[in-house]
Structure 1
Amino acid sequence: MCKQHFKNQHGLSIHISKMHPSIVCGVCQRNDFKNEHGLSIHMSKVHHQDSHSSGRRETELYSRKVPQHGHYHSKDRKDEKHSARQRPSTAGGHRKDGYQGRFTTTHSPHGSAVNEKCKSYSGPEREHKGDTRTWPKSVPPKFGEIHRTDTYMSEHVIKEVAKVVQASPHTVTKPQEKAGGRGKPREPLLTERSPSSLSNSTLSCLASDKSKLLTILKAGIICPKEDSKLRVDRVNVFVQNLEETISRVSDFPLELFKSGSYYDKTKIDYADEFDFMFYPKANFEADFTNCPPGFCKIKKGRTTSQDFDKMFNKDGYLVPDFFKEKMFQIFKKCIESPGFREGRRTKRKPRAPESPAFTVFYDLQLQGKPPIDIDLVPAIRVDGWPSNFRKLHAKWLSDDHAKEAMKCFHAVTKTFPGKQADGGLLWRVSFSHAEKKLINHADYTDKGVRKTIFKILKKLKEDIKTDCPGIEKFCSYHLKMFMLGFFDRHKDFSEKNEELLFNQSIKELVKCLQSGEIRNYFIPSDNILKYVPDNEKALVARKLSEYI
C-alpha cells in the first residue's frame, strides 16, 4: 500500500513504473515496459501502429499485472533496465501515445486502497502533437498514397501533384479486385518519384491539358522560404568575410557584383548556387574591332592603376589569362588565409582550365544540408553602352529601368571556342547587370506573368535534362535570351493568358532549336546556339514537342 505524496507528474510516473509495473502489449503480450512511452515506441516499431490507435487506454488495450506477492524483484529491475537500453528514446522527449497531461492510478491492480492513498496528478491540458517519425522502409505505402522520397519536397508540392495526377485520365490504375464483388476500383497510383523531378513521360501525358501541366510545374518550383533564408544568411556571412580578407591580401581594390538566378529572382529550387563577380576598381575600355559577336578586347583606360601593367601586352591590351591567374591567386590566398573565418568550411572545386570561375564548396555544417556551390568570377566592368549593342526601349520596360540597365556591362575570361587571330586577347561580353535589371522588373509596368512563364519553362527544361543526362551545353542562359525576345514579340501578359503564353513559348522555342538559332538579346548578330551540339538541340526540341 502506498502512502507517498508527489510534487509533480514526473515523480508519480517514476514511482508507478518502478513500484507498480504492469503494462502489457495487447498484441504480443510483452510485459517488460517501463511506462506507456515504452509501449508506444514498441507498437510503432514492431507492430507499425500507435498504441492509442489500436483501441483504448490501459484498462481496455492492455492490463496491469503485478509480480508475485506484489514485490518488485531485483532480477526484474535489471531486466527492465536492460530492456530500456534497447528501446530508443523519442527525439525531444515528447510522448507519442496520445498522452494529454493527466495521469492517475484509477486502474491500479493494488485496488482501491492504493487509489485512495496515492495522490493522483492532474496537470494542465496540453495539445498532443502528431507522430512525426519516419516509418521503416519495409512498410509499403498504401495504394494511391504519395509518400516522400525527396527530403526537400514540401507538403504543398505533394498535395498539388496528388490532386492533378489522380484527376488525370492518363493516370495508371491498378486492376479491380475480382473476389466476391468487394473490390472497388483502386485509387490512382502515382510513382514514388519526387514531383520536382517527375519523369518526362509523366508530364508529357498531361500535355493535352495545359492547366494540369502548369499546376504540376508550378508546384515543383515552390520551396520553403525558411531553408533558403538560412542558406542566404550563411552565404552573406561568407561573402562579407571574403571581402574583408580580399581588402587585406589584394594588390588593388576589388568591387563585388551579385549575379545569377537567385538575385534576379528566377530560382526554381533551393538556393544552393551563387555567382559573384569581382572586378577591379579601375577604368578600362572595350574594343570590338575585328572581334566575333559577343566578344571584345580590353585596353587600358585613362587612369588605370599601374598594378595592372604586367597584365597588358605590348599593344596595351589586357591579357585574359594573366588577369585570370592573378585573380585566382587572390581567391586562393583568401580561402587559405588564417584570417578568413570561413576557410575551414571552404573547399575548392576542380574546374576545367577554360572555365572563367573559381568555384568553391561552402559547407553549412548542418545535418542534411549539402554544401553550397559558389562561383567567384573575375571580371572587368566597362561603363557605357556601345553602339553595336541593342538600345533598350521595350514597351514592357520602363524608361528608368532601361537607362539603368544600359549603364554598364562586364567582360569575363571565358575562352573563345573557335579559331581567331587574336583569340588569346578575347573576352566574353557579359550582360549580367542588364539581365538582372530587365528580369527583376519584367512585370513592373503591367503586373504580368513574364517571370512566371520564364520560371515554368526553366523548370520544364530542368526536368528534361534530368531525364536526358546527355544534355550539357543547352542551359538557362539560352532560355533567358529566348524569353527576353519572347517578351518583345507578345503584348498581353495578363494572368488570364498564362496557359496560352506558355504553350506559345514552347512552340517558338522548338522552332528556334530546330533552326539552330537563338539570338543574343543585346547583340542580335550573336547566335548563342552556335556552339551547342546539333544532337543536343534536336533532343531538346523533340522532348519539348511532346508538350505542344
Structure 2
Amino acid sequence: MKKCDICFKDYKGDAGIRIHKSKAHKDEPLGGASTKDKQSKTKTTIQASYGDHQTKDFKFKCKFCDKRTETETGLRIHHGIVHKGTNYPEHSSTDKKASRTKTVPDAHGITYPEPFSTDEKGSRTKSVQDAHGGNHADDLLFKCKFCDKTSQTERGLKIHHGRTHQGTTYPEPSSTDQKGSGTKSVPDAHGDNHTDDLQFKCKFCDKTFQTERGLKIHHGRVHQDKDFPGHCYKNSTGSTAATKDPYAKSVAKEELLRSPSVPLDMMVKIDKATVTDQAIDRLSDQLEECKMSKKDSSAASEAMNSFTDSFLTELNKISKLKWFFFNSGSFYDKTRNSPDEFDLMIYPDVQVSVDFDDKSVLGFYKVKMVSTRVPELDGTVTRNDYIRPEAYKTYVFELFDRVLQKIREGRRVTKRVKSRNSPAYTIDYKAIPGKKAIDVDLVPCFKIEGWPPVAKRLDPKWISYDSVVHNAMKSCDVVCKKCPHDHPDNNLLWRLSFAKAEKMLMKHANSSGDSTFKKDAYRFIKLYICNMKDQFPGKIQKFSSYCIKQFIFTEFDNWPKKPTEEVIIQRNILKHLIEGLEERCIPNYFLQNDNVLQFIPTDELNLLCRGMKMEYEKLLGNK
C-alpha cells in the first residue's frame, strides 16, 4: 500500500496517488511537501528529470477530471488508463486560436490546405474543401443507426460502432446529404459525380465498372486464363483511353480473395421471400435422406475398427518403422450421409521439417528429413535430405499391397484404380454381406507438430470449447498431392493439409448452442453433389468434400445470431455457393489468398452451378 504524504490516504500504487493528488491537491506543490525546502527540492528534481514542464501548453482537457495534456494522443492515453468504463468524448482544446493545416489533393490533383479549426466551444473540427470552397464533409455523412453520431467515412462509422455499440450487429450504413438523400455519391470540384462520367470497361466482355479495382477483381474471377491487357475506360463523351498495369494480374488475384460478398447473416436478414410448404417439405425429405440407421452405422464402425487394427498390426510387422494413424473424414466428424465413407491418415514415427520460408507456391512446400538416417526411406530422400513425395507414395503403396495380401480382411478388399495425382490408396471393403462396399481412403502422410506460420490463427465463435480449437491447432500434415504449378522443384513439393483441424471443427460445429442446423446444412450440400455425381457419371471429379468444407466454414463464421427458418438459411447458403462457382472462387479457410477452385475445370464448375441453381429454385418454392 502507498500513502499520500499530504492527507495520508492509502492507495494500491503510485498511479492511484498521482490521480488522487491531481484532483484533491491540485493547488499543493508537487510531491506534497509542506515546507519551502521540500517544495524547492521537488521542483528542482522534476525539472532536472523532465525539463521545464511549466512552459508547455496543455491545451486538451479531460471532461471527467482536471487532467490536461499537450496532445490529443496524450489525452486518449489518459482516458484509456483512468476512465476505462466511460466512452471517449470529443476532446476540447482550450487554445481557441490554435489551428493546424495539412495539404490534401482534390479530385483533379490540385493541393489545397485542410484546416483544423476550433469553433466557439473550443472543439476541434475537420473539414475538407474542394476547389470552389464547398465542404465535402457536409455533403456526405455516414450516420449511426443507434445514436446521433455521424462520420465522414464508412470506416469511421465501423470504428465508432465497434467501440460504442459492441453488443449490437453492425447494420448497413446510410449516407445522408444536406437534402436527406439516402444515396452515396462523391461530387467532384464542379458538383458532378465522377462515377457517372468514368467507367472502366472489360476488353473480354461487356462488363463495365466504376473503379479500376472493380475491373481487376472481375478479370481475376472471370478471365483468369487471359493476361490482363490494361484497362479501358470510357467517359461521358464516348471517347476511350487505355492504360497498362504490369502488376494488374497478380493484384487482381489478391483482391479476389480479399473481397467477400455480403455475409450470410446480412443475407438472411434482408431475405423477404416467402417460405413455402413445398420448400419446407423439400428440406425435410432431404434430412430423412441423410439419416442413417444406428444399426448400419454401428456395423460399419465395428467392421472398420477390426480392419484398422489388423492393417496397422501387419504394417508394423512388415516395416521397420513405427506407423500410426488418425481418423478423418465425414464418418468421424458426424456428417456422413452413408456408412461407407472412411479416411485414414497413416504416417511413420520420423521427424521432418517443412520449409515454410519458401512461399513461391501457396500451399505447397518442401519437406526435409530431420531424424537420423532411416535406411528404409533412403530411396525417397535426396542428397540434401529432401523427401520426394512421389517416391515416398510409391514405397508406402507397395507396403499397403503387401499388408492386404497378409491380413484376413484382405480377401474382401478390391483396390480401386485412381488418378496418379491422387494422394490416397483407395479400396472397396466388402465388410458386411448384402451391403454396399465401404469406400476406404488410406492416405500416406507426415505429421507436422505445431501450427504452420503460413496458416491463419483459428478463432471460430461457433465453437464453444476453447480446448477444441487449441487441440485443432496442435498439428497439421503434409500429403503427396502433386503440385499443379510449373515450378523448378515440382518433384519436391508436398501439399499442406489440415485434415485433423477440419475434423475437429466440423465435429463441434453445433456446440455453441445458437443453432443445431450447421452440420445439416453441410450434409445437404454434400447430398446435392452426390446426387449430381450419380446423375452425371464421370463429370464431377475434382470438386470434393474438401472444397465444400472450405466454403461452409466461412458461412459458419457469419451464421445468423437470431433463430431463423432453416429454409431461409439453406437457400442463402446455396446463393453464396452459386456465386462462388460462377466467379470460380472459394477462399481456403486456413490459407489466405488461396482459391480452392482454381484448378477445377470450367465445365465441371458450370455443371455444378446449374445443379445448385435448381436446388435453390426448389427452396424458393418455384419448382
Residue of structure 2 aligned with 1:501, choices 569, 572, 578 = 569
CA distance in 1, matches of 2:297, 2:424: 23
Partner of 1:393: 459
- 1:450–1:493 CA contact under 8 A, matched in 2: no
Residue of structure 2 aligned with 1:453, choices 512, 521, 538 = 521
| Corresponding letter in the other structure for 2:552 | M
- 2:452–2:476 CA contact under 8 A, matched in 1: no
Correspondence 1:539 to 2:607 = yes
DSSP-derived class of the 2:482 partner: coil
CA distance in 2, matches of 1:341, 1:233: 16
Correspondence 1:326 to 2:395 = yes
Partner of 1:84: none
Cα offsets for 1:78-124 (capped at 9, x unmatched): xxxxxxxxxxxxxxxxxxxxxxxxxxxxxxxxxxxxxxxxxxxxxxx
Alignment of 1:150-229 (within 5 A): 209-229=278-298
CA distance in 2, matches of 1:356, 1:365: 27
Deviation, 1:447, is 5.2
Correspondence 1:423 to 2:490 = yes
Partner of 2:502: 435
Partner of 1:474: 543
Give the direction of change, closer, same or farther, for the CA distance of 1:388–1:365 in structure 2 (3 Å limit): closer
CA distance in 2, matches of 1:472, 1:493: 37
Deviation, 1:303, is 5.3
Give the direction of change, closer, same or farther, for the CA distance of 1:321–1:220 in structure 2 (3 Å limit): same
Partner of 2:416: 349
Give the direction of change, closer, same or farther, for the CA distance of 1:475–1:365 in structure 2 (3 Å limit): closer
CA distance in 2, matches of 1:408, 1:528: 21
CA distance in 1, matches of 2:427, 2:351: 29
Give the direction of change, closer, same or farther, for the CA distance of 1:468–1:250 in structure 2 (3 Å limit): same
CA distance in 1, matches of 2:313, 2:305: 12
CA distance in 1, matches of 2:276, 2:414: 43
Cα offsets for 1:209-245 (capped at 9, x unmatched): 4212211211111222212211221121111111111
Partner of 1:281: 349
Correspondence 1:371 to 2:450 = no
Deviation, 1:363, is 2.2
Residue of structure 1 aligned with 2:335, choices 257, 262, 266 = 266
Deviation, 1:207, is 8.3
CA distance in 1, matches of 2:370, 2:593: 27
- 1:207–1:213 CA contact under 8 A, matched in 2: no
- 2:350–2:371 CA contact under 8 A, matched in 1: no
Cα offsets for 1:418-462 (capped at 9, x unmatched): 321111111111111000110011111225221111112221222
CA distance in 2, matches of 1:248, 1:283: 21
Correspondence 1:248 to 2:317 = yes
| Corresponding letter in the other structure for 2:426 | T
Residue of structure 2 aligned with 1:510, choices 570, 578, 581 = 578
CA distance in 2, matches of 1:404, 1:207: 42
Number of residue pairs the alignment of both structures matches: 338
DSSP-derived class of the 1:427 partner: strand
- 1:282–1:304 CA contact under 8 A, matched in 2: no
Give the direction of change, closer, same or farther, for the CA distance of 1:443–1:365 in structure 2 (3 Å limit): closer
Deviation, 1:415, is 1.2
Structure 2: which 5+ residue stretches go unaligned? 1-274, 618-623
Correspondence 1:384 to 2:450 = yes
CA distance in 1, matches of 2:276, 2:353: 50
| Corresponding letter in the other structure for 2:598 | K
Partner of 2:300: 231
Cα offsets for 1:62-83 (capped at 9, x unmatched): xxxxxxxxxxxxxxxxxxxxxx
DSSP-derived class of the 2:383 partner: coil
Question: What is the root-mean-square deviation in Å for CA atoms of aligned residues?
Answer: 2.0
Deviation, 1:208, is 8.2
Give the direction of change, closer, same or farther, for the CA distance of 1:234–1:493 in structure 2 (3 Å limit): farther
Deviates more, 1:384-393 or 1:291-300: 291-300
CA distance in 2, matches of 1:341, 1:466: 32
Give the direction of change, closer, same or farther, for the CA distance of 1:395–1:304 in structure 2 (3 Å limit): farther
Cα offsets for 1:297-333 (capped at 9, x unmatched): 1112255745434321122211112211221121111
Cα offsets for 1:479-536 (capped at 9, x unmatched): 1110001111234274x43222111101111111111100110012210100111122
DSSP-derived class of the 2:452 partner: coil
Correspondence 1:464 to 2:570 = no
Give the direction of change, closer, same or farther, for the CA distance of 1:210–1:521 in structure 2 (3 Å limit): same
Partner of 2:479: 412
DSSP-derived class of the 1:473 partner: coil
Percent identity of the aligned residues? 32
CA distance in 1, matches of 2:296, 2:460: 36
- 2:361–2:485 CA contact under 8 A, matched in 1: no
Deviates more, 1:292-301 or 1:251-260: 292-301
**Higher strand proportion (structure 1 or 2):** 2
Deviation, 1:347, is 2.8
**TM, length-normalised to structure 1:** 0.59
Deviation, 1:468, is 3.2
Cα offsets for 1:325-353 (capped at 9, x unmatched): 2211211111112xx22222223222222
Cα offsets for 1:251-273 (capped at 9, x unmatched): 2111111111111111012x113
Structure 1: which 5+ residue stretches go unaligned? 1-205
CA distance in 1, matches of 2:276, 2:482: 40
Give the direction of change, closer, same or farther, for the CA distance of 1:309–1:511 in structure 2 (3 Å limit): same
| Corresponding letter in the other structure for 1:228 | S
Partner of 1:155: none
- 1:217–1:460 CA contact under 8 A, matched in 2: no
| Corresponding letter in the other structure for 1:419 | D
Give the direction of change, closer, same or farther, for the CA distance of 1:505–1:515 in structure 2 (3 Å limit): same
DSSP-derived class of the 2:395 partner: helix
DSSP-derived class of the 1:342 partner: helix
DSSP-derived class of the 1:502 partner: helix
**TM, length-normalised to structure 2:** 0.52
CA distance in 2, matches of 1:471, 1:443: 29
